[in-house]
Chains A and B, each alone.
Chain A
């Protein structure tokens, strides 16, 4: 069974650019959530996708957008990058919206905006 994978591992971008981060869910999982973790802080929920539809969104501006594909892999897109977007971006997959509700986290993408 393959776990959650993310790409790329590290990324450096310039302020104002756009970035796409990718996540492959664990086999059999149809739900994916994305989180932003700034240095020294807890993860902040960005949004969740369930069967290709957005199922919940945290307090992030519209320049943070996402997609989930039929194979349940997912993308996080961030437009007009700001310095404060520098963080570790984590995706987590789960087998659905029912119990036991456990999420499995990927290794993360470290984004640096200069």
Chain B
């Protein structure tokens, strides 16, 4: 069964610091998604990674995908309070059964 594991599950950061969230998955997939969710809100798409070695950046967030290691990372650079949210990774190898990780709850403190 496809499993998606994120770590850490909880992350408290100081503003200005850097950190990386990891997403491991258990089966072959050349497609990985990152989403952001604010409390009580829906999911906002951050990145869609479609191939091995894919790297995408938006503002202070950068995501990468290593399909051979079955690993994706979401790197946060110089964190700011507005980045506080829950971040989910997800894989959908067959395009009809998207599996999400448990989420990383990020808190950025002044």
Contacts and interface: CB of A to CB of B under 8 A. Distances in A.
Interface stretch (B11-19, B62-70, B74-82, B88-96): B88-96
A95 to B, nearest CB: 12
A107 B97 contact: no
B95 A97 contact: yes
Interface in B11-49: 31, 33, 35, 41-45, 48
A56 B48 contact: no
A42 B88 contact: yes
Contacts of A61: none
A44 B4 CA distance: 12
Task: Give the interface size class of chain B.
Answer: 20 to 34
Main secondary structure of the interface of B (DSSP, over half): loop
A57 B96 CA distance: 8
Interface in A84-107: 90, 92, 97, 99-107
Given A55-B96, A56-B94, A56-B96, 14 more contacts: A42-B88, A42-B102, A43-B88, A43-B90, A43-B98, A48-B97, A90-B43, A99-B50, A100-B50, A101-B50, A101-B92, A105-B44, A105-B45, A108-B42
